[in-house]
Copies of this chain bind each other. A is one copy, B any other.
């Protein structure tokens, strides 16, 4: 297999953090250093600040030139006006790639900012250096222990996230990680003046470690190139896209954020539809779709059964399903009869939805799921568990109920998605979090509300129909 031109970016032998804050009271001092140490980056790690000194046991070199060994990769964190000088130093040092964290370039909207951005990229290109950013967090690759965030999962996984916004990468990862999503590459590319969205998207489309590509994008540098790349990427792998900057205010915000020229929304909708790209509209939905593509096995058809506990919750769950265009066939008499053998009629709904008090008795709940999914007309199952907030003596009962959901999902003959309703109190939140971790570790897709589950599954099914 051919190695992609950009593969080297993710495997530096040596990294220098240039412009590290030396003030020991400034939390920013740890920004890039601590994550690399926490991940156990195996290569050489250098720090640079004109003031010299030592940070966390590492010598601080006054300049790049003072470093004895070679430097592959530079994290540039000096004020924008000093970046030109550092970039020139990088050439002398033989640096291969520079991730420019610093802001104050094209995105500020001044001629100076734009010129400065152009200048550093021009210098870099002349010296054969590739630039990530400016105004970005850079690259994360768990396998090579290259990262910018200590809290990211240390294990690698099949999802790549390419994002014009650094904050949005972290928001997404922190939201998706407890639901079992693991990442091959995370790319925060900011203004994208040298390496842009198309370059990285092409890389991810060819990356053997990436099976699902998620993209947050505010604007593109070259529309034709991007559409061509997006088409090829979407042919190779599922691509989930969140477009930031619609409407006048959003476009204004995107311009100020990454200097992006955010196109109008309708063009993007049409483009995604045409290319088979799954379009989402929030970070939450992006996480939901990742979970669906990772953990929800493709059902044979679109007919679902809904099994949970709580009458009012079942009614609202059905409404959410209907609003998403889901099909819930009414339960046939022979299935209902079998359920009645172990389910009291009072306090139940045996009608698809199946609202059953047996959620508190693991063997009966397993039997309920077995019976419902033995019904041939049904292609997949959604099980939901009421918010832990609702259980009168919730701690014990919630665990028991979650255990029933886990056990029954394991023996279920059809694809199953699980909803653990959101909790609103620290104690119940923690219980839900732990149950979620058990379920995701066992390989199940877990969602916080029925509405979000069915909306995501609906888009997932639509993708596969196409």
Contact = CB atoms under 8 A, between A and B. Distances in A.
Interface of A: 27, 30-31, 79-80, 102-104, 108, 110, 149-151, 163-168, 170-171, 174-175, 177-178, 216, 218, 242, 244-250, 252-258, 281-284, 306, 310-323, 328, 330, 344-353, 355, 386-387, 389-390, 392-393, 397, 421-422, 424-426, 428-430, 433, 449, 451
Contact of A256 (B175, B242, B350): B350
A267 to B, nearest CB: 15
B244 A174 contact: no
Nearest to A150: B392
A352 B250 CA distance: 9
A103 to B, nearest CB: 4
A324 B254 CA distance: 18
Nearest to A216: B312
Nearest to A312: B165
Contact of A313 (B171, B426, B430): B171
Contact of A253 (B170, B242, B318, B429): B318
Contact of A257 (B281, B314, B386, B389): B314
A186 to B, nearest CB: 13
A149 B27 contact: no
B246 A312 contact: no
A246 B323 contact: yes
Nearest to A322: B247
B252 A318 contact: yes
B167 A311 contact: yes
Given A167-B313, A170-B390, A171-B390, A249 B429 contact: no
The 5 closest A-B pairs by CB, nearest first: A165-B312, A104-B346, A247-B322, A168-B312, A256-B349
Nearest to A163: B312
A424 B174 CA distance: 7
A249 B304 CA distance: 11
27 contacts: A31-B392, A79-B346, A103-B347, A150-B392, A166-B312, A167-B310, A167-B313, A168-B316, A170-B390, A171-B313, A171-B387, A171-B421, A174-B428, A175-B389, A178-B425, A216-B312, A244-B319, A246-B319, A246-B323, A247-B323, A249-B352, A253-B314, A253-B349, A256-B311, A256-B351, A282-B449, A284-B449
